[in-house]
């Protein structure tokens, strides 16, 4: 079923003794004024992983293959062409762009987040219906902890040949951080492609529902070394009426996160104020949170708070 | 002259400089006219740089947003201290393996971001057809858009606040409170006292037909005085400050 109306919203991720998004130095990514932030990619990655595990076709994700090499068989990441062929069958110079476009849209990540595809004479750039912004850490008391960890091995370089101890490493985490992202879903981004791609009719309710589900739980479900301890805490979905072209930017401006005893309190009362003049264009507001750890002050927002799971 | 004024801001922005991209993508300090027209084009639902072959269409001289909007007059006033915004180089790792032909399949992207940029923007109709101008004003005044406008990267949505219609009159005072083109000798600028500041940047002015390269000009922002002979054309005032339109 085609989805026509716009959605804006908030996604918040808590990181406890974890590093949600590290930069090159291993420290949490920061702005010049030292505010910790998480990129859109950091939030999208667990969603793509979740879809992949559910058996959905996901194009833009790292996958490995065995490559015959002079030195024997080696594990190697697929390139874009190989990944495309792995999912959708062969791609050569003669493949029509319409066919490629249709195949691209059949991948759930492309349907939601768009794609840049430049392979075999194709030059396709799709701005995704779902756009996720940078997520700033809104928690004031975040501390960065550097832990020394002991490696089970001696350093293998020549200088360490006579060393009697194994090498050391570090693990860098934040004691507690709360990343707040805002996002938008604009089905109009695909209007240009309707009729152009084989069998493509625009953004669908099914794709949105899969995004919505992943947005609520994917980070919690994802457990790598640095991201275990990161969990989805809050998800707000503001659906506009079908004809509305209202523009709302950076809704995370209106959110605050602070500790309230055992719970984290997300205050949405400013968001409610900001939305109030536009209620005639808003169809529904849904608020989900982890009821065990989170409290939400909804202010005058309509709709009740439900469990994120 | 009737004009529409608004504040354009965001958490971050990146207006990539196309001429330096070997190791780091650098950004211009300010939004420039071409990027601003692109943003307004998004609001109106005009298309941008697209793959025309995909649509069985002939490559036009300009992308649609530029074709339609380039006759608009704009004035850009940076709201950062002395016209400057904080910048930081952010680092991304793209390890999906097909972002590039890097060895090991790992593309490292270093990109400079403007932080908390904010500009006051004036638009004036100039030669824009009435219908397009009225639609643009209506969309801005009522916070409507077809595509979500953003500041150089689609994860940096643009905030548009304090929109109002303003009446402007032509002036020729010696101080210009917006970015303006200045090809003369920078030493000719005086005044501003001990706190004089001078911000200079070579920034895109327009698009070149067909190939759509940027055409560049030197823009400056200063609290100094500009000698009468150096004053550019198209200066207007709202009764308080003087702005350069281009």
- The per-residue pLDDT for range A60-102, each reduced to its tens digit, is 998 888 888 787 888 888 888 899 999 999 888 888 888 899 9
Out of B98, B145, B150, the one facing A83 most closely (by C-beta) is B98
pLDDT (tens digit per residue) in B226-239: 988 889 999 999 99
Minimal CA separation from B156 to chain A, in Å = 6
| CA nearest to A36, candidates A175, A148, A171, A131 | A175
**Residues on chain A touching B141 (C-beta within 8 angstroms):** none
Residue in this structure with the two tokens 């065995």, named with its chain if needed = A66
Is B40:B158 a contact under the CB 8 Å cutoff? no
B55 touching A (Cβ < 8 Å): yes
A125 touching B (Cβ < 8 Å): yes
Residue A161's pLDDT band, with cuts at 50, 70 and 90, is: confident
Number of domains in chain A: 1
**Domain for residue A117, yes or no?**
no
**Domain for residue A102, yes or no?**
no
Whether residue B101 and residue A184 make contact (CB cut-off 8 A), yes or no, is no
pLDDT of residue A185: 97
pLDDT (tens digit per residue) in B86-131: 999 998 877 665 656 666 667 778 899 999 999 999 999 999 999 9
Residue B21's pLDDT band, with cuts at 50, 70 and 90, is: low
Which residues, 6+ apart, have CB-to-CB distance to B246 below 8 Å?
A: B33, B73, B74, B75, B180, B181, B205, B234
Whether residue A134 and residue B95 make contact (CB cut-off 8 A), yes or no, is no
The number of CA neighbours under 13 Å toward the Cβ of A84 is 24
A83 touching B (Cβ < 8 Å): yes
B57 touching A (Cβ < 8 Å): no
**Residues on chain B touching A29 (C-beta within 8 angstroms):** 90-91
Whether residue B92 and residue A76 make contact (CB cut-off 8 A), yes or no, is no
**Residues on chain A touching B54 (C-beta within 8 angstroms):** 97, 101, 124, 196
Whether residue A134 and residue B87 make contact (CB cut-off 8 A), yes or no, is no
Does pLDDT of A129 surpass 80?
A: yes
**Domain for residue A106, yes or no?**
no
Minimal CA separation from B97 to chain A, in Å = 5
A196 touching B (Cβ < 8 Å): yes
**Domain for residue A99, yes or no?**
no
Region at B37 (left for phi over 0; alpha for psi -120 to 50; beta for the rest): alpha
**Domain for residue A98, yes or no?**
no
Q: Which of B27, B97, B100, B139 to mutate to test the interface with A (most CBs of A within 10 A)?
A: B97
**Domain for residue A92, yes or no?**
no
pTM of the entire predicted model: 0.86
| Stretch B50-74: mean pLDDT | 87
**Residues on chain B touching A78 (C-beta within 8 angstroms):** 97-98
B144 touching A (Cβ < 8 Å): yes
Q: What percent of chain B has pLDDT over 90?
A: 69
Between CA A217 and CA A11 the distance in angstroms is 10
Which DSSP string corresponds to A234-299?
A: EEEEEEEPTT--B----GGGG-EEEEETTEEEEE-HHHHHHHGGGGGGEEEEEEEE-TTTEEEE-T
**Domain for residue A123, yes or no?**
no
Residue A273 CB neighbours (<10 A): 13
Whether residue B148 and residue A247 make contact (CB cut-off 8 A), yes or no, is yes
Whether residue A62 and residue B97 make contact (CB cut-off 8 A), yes or no, is yes
Residue B193's pLDDT band, with cuts at 50, 70 and 90, is: confident
In chain A, where does DSSP find H-type helix? 40-53, 80-88, 97-105, 108-113, 205-221, 269-275
Q: What is the mean pLDDT of chain A?
A: 91
E strand or H helix at B217, and its extent?
strand B214-222
| Stretch B64-70: mean pLDDT | 94
pLDDT-wise least confident of A26-30, A72-76, B34-38, B192-196: B192-196
Q: What percent of chain A has pLDDT over 90?
A: 68
pLDDT of residue B98: 61
Is B10:A250 a contact under the CB 8 Å cutoff? yes
| CA nearest to B232, candidates B190, B178, B181 | B181
* Host domain of residue A289: 7-40+129-307
Residue in this structure with the two tokens 């020549």, named with its chain if needed = A158
Q: From residue B223, how far is each of B114, B176, B200, B239 by CA, in Å?
A: 22, 8, 12, 18
């Amino acid at each position: 079923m085609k989805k026509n109306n716009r959605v804006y919203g908030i996604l918040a991720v808590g990181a406890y003794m974890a590093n949600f998004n590290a930069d090159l130095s291993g420290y949490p990514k920061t702005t010049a004024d030292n505010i910790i932030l998480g990129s859109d990619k950091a939030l999208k990655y667990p969603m793509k992983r979740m879809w992949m595990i559910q058996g959905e076709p996901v194009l833009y994700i790292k996958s490995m293959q065995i490559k015959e090499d002079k030195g024997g068989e080696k594990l190697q990441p697929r390139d874009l062409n190989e990944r495309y062929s792995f999912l959708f069958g062969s791609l050569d110079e003669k493949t029509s762009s319409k066919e490629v476009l249709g195949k691209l849209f059949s991948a759930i990540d492309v349907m939601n987040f768009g794609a840049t595809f430049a392979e075999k004479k194709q030059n396709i750039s799709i701005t995704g219906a779902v756009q996720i912004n940078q997520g700033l850490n809104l928690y004031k008391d975040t501390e960065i902890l550097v832990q020394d960890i002991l490696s089970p091995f001696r350093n293998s370089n020549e200088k360490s040949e006579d060393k009697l101890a194994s090498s050391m490493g570090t693990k860098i985490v934040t004691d507690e951080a709360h990343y707040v992202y805002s996002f938008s879903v604009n089905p109009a981004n695909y209007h240009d492609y309707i009729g152009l791609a084989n069998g493509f009719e625009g953004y669908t309710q099914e794709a949105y529902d899969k995004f919505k589900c992943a947005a609520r739980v994917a980070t919690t479900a994802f457990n790598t070394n640095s991201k275990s301890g990161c969990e989805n805490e809050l998800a707000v979905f503001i659906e506009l009426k079908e004809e509305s072209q209202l523009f709302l930017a950076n809704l995370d401006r209106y959110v605050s996160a602070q500790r309230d005893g055992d719970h984290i309190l997300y205050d949405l009362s400013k968001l409610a104020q900001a939305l109030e003049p536009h209620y005639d264009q808003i169809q529904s507001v849904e608020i989900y949170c982890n009821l065990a750890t989170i409290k939400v002050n909804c202010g005058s927002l309509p709709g009740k708070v439900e469990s994120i799971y | 002259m009737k004009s529409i004024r608004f504040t354009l801001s965001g958490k971050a922005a990146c207006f990539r400089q196309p001429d330096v991209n070997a190791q780091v993508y650098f950004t211009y300090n300010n939004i420039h006219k071409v990027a601003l027209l692109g943003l307004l084009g998004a609001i109106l639902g005009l298309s941008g740089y697209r793959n025309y072959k995909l649509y069985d269409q002939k490559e036009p001289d300009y992308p649609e947003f530029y074709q339609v909007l380039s006759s608009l007059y704009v004035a850009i006033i940076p709201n950062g201290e002395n016209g400057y915004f904080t910048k930081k180089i952010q680092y991304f790792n793209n390890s999906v393996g097909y972002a590039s032909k890097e060895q090991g399949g790992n593309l490292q992207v270093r990109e400079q971001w403007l932080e908390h940029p904010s500009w006051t923007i004036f638009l004036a109709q100039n030669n824009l057809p009435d219908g397009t101008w009225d639609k643009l004003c209506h969309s801005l005044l009522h916070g409507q858009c077809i595509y979500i406008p953003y500041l150089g990267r689609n994860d940096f949505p643009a905030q548009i606040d304090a929109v109002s219609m303003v009446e402007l009159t032509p002036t020729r005072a010696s101080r210009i409170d917006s970015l303006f083109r200045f090809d003369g000798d920078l030493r000719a600028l005086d005044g501003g006292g001990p706190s004089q500041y001078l911000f200079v940047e070579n920034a895109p002015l327009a698009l070149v037909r067909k190939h759509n390269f940027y055409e560049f000009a030197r823009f400056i922002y200063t609290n100094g005085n500009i000698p009468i002979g150096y004053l550019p054309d198209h200066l207007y005032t709202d009764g308080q400050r003087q702005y350069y339109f281009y």
